[in-house]
Amino acid sequence: MPKRYAVPVGSQRIIEQMFAAPGVSGDDSPLTLIDWCRNLLTP
């Protein structure tokens, strides 16, 4: 995955896992990535 944005290593790993194995956490909803981004932007 191209690293276009500077993100923490942990976050990068989460993103890679989400794209590599969708639903690995038991939730393959299309909103998973959106919710993750929203949580990331929430203070």
43 residues of the chain, pLDDT tens digit each = 555 656 566 776 776 666 655 554 555 555 667 777 777 787 6
Any domain includes 5? no
DSSP per residue over the chain, as a string? ----S---HHHHHHHHHHHHSTTTTS---THHHHHHHHHHH--
pLDDT of residue 11: 73
Any domain includes 2? no
Distances (CA, A) of 1 to 11, 21, 26, 33, 40: 13, 13, 22, 15, 19
Expressed as residue numbers, the domain containing 27 is 11-41
pLDDT of residue 41: 80
Any domain includes 33? yes
Return d(Cα 14, Cα 36) in angstroms, integer: 10
Any domain includes 29? yes
The domain total for the chain is 1
